[in-house]
Amino acid sequence: MEYDNIELSDDEEEITAQTVLRTLQNAWQNERLAPEILPHQNEMVECMLGQIQHMERNINKLPKTDLRASIHKMELNRIKFIICNYLKTRLDKIEKYCISILNDEKQRLESGTNYLTPSEYKYAQEYLINMESHLKEAALDHVPGNMQSFDLNKLVIYPNLQAHVFLKANETVTGIILEDLGGDQDEEIDLEENSQHILQYKPIADLLKSGKVQLM
Amino acid sequence: MFGEKVIELIKEAERNRDTIDQYNDEKVRQIIEEMHVLFKMNMADANATSENKSLWTTVQVRHSALERNKRCLLAYLYNRMNKIRTLRWEFGSVLPSDVRELLSDSEYTWFSKYSTNLATYMRSLGQDIGYSGIDLTENLRPPKSLYIEVLCMSDYGKLELEDGDVILLKKNSRHFLPTSECQTLIRQGILKQIT
ipTM of the complex: 0.85
Is the pLDDT assigned to residue A7 strictly greater than 80? Answer: no
Task: Read off the pLDDT of each residue in A28-48 and give the average, rounded to a whole number.
Answer: 92
Q: Domain holding A142: CATH number?
A: 1.20.58.1030
Is the pLDDT assigned to residue B50 strictly greater than 80? Answer: no
Residues A89, A32 share a domain: yes
Residues A74, A1 share a domain: yes
- Residues 6+ away with beta carbon under 8 Å from A112: none
Residues A50, A7 share a domain: yes
Q: Domain holding A209: CATH number?
A: 3.40.5.60
Contacts of B84 in chain A (CB under 8 A): none
Q: Could you tell me the pTM of the whole model?
A: 0.86
Residues A179, A154 share a domain: no
Number of domains in chain A: 3
Is the pLDDT assigned to residue A5 strictly greater than 70? Answer: no
A43, A68, A96 - which closes a domain: A96
User: What is the pLDDT of chain B when averaged over all its residues?
Assistant: 86
C-alpha B43/C-alpha B48 separation (Å) is 9
Is the pLDDT assigned to residue B129 strictly greater than 80? Answer: no
List C-alpha distances in Å: A154 to A149, A150, A151, B67. Answer: 10, 9, 6, 11
Is the pLDDT assigned to residue A4 strictly greater than 50? Answer: no
Choosing among A45, A142, A152, A157, which should be mutated to test the B contact, i.e. which has the most B CBs within 10 A? A142
pLDDT digits (tens, 9 = 90+) for B131-169: 778 888 877 888 888 888 889 888 888 888 877 788 888
* Closest Cα in chain B, distance from residue A174 (Å): 38
Whether B77 and A135 lie within 8 Å, measured CB to CB:
yes
DSSP 8-state class, residue A138: I
For chain B positions 57-96, those within 8 Å of chain A (CB to CB) are 66-67, 69-71, 73-74, 77-78, 81, 85
- Percent of chain B exceeding pLDDT 70 equals 97
Residues A85, A75 share a domain: yes
Is the pLDDT assigned to residue A1 strictly greater than 50? Answer: no
Contacts of A123 in chain B (CB under 8 A): 117-118, 120-121
- Its domain, for residue A198, covers 164-215
Is the pLDDT assigned to residue B81 strictly greater than 80? Answer: yes
Domains and their CATH numbers in chain B? 4-91 (1.20.58.1030), 147-193 (3.40.5)
Task: Read off the pLDDT of each residue in A185-200 and give the average, rounded to a whole number.
Answer: 88
Exposed / middle / buried, residue A79 (Cβ in 10 Å: 0-12, 13-18, 19+): buried
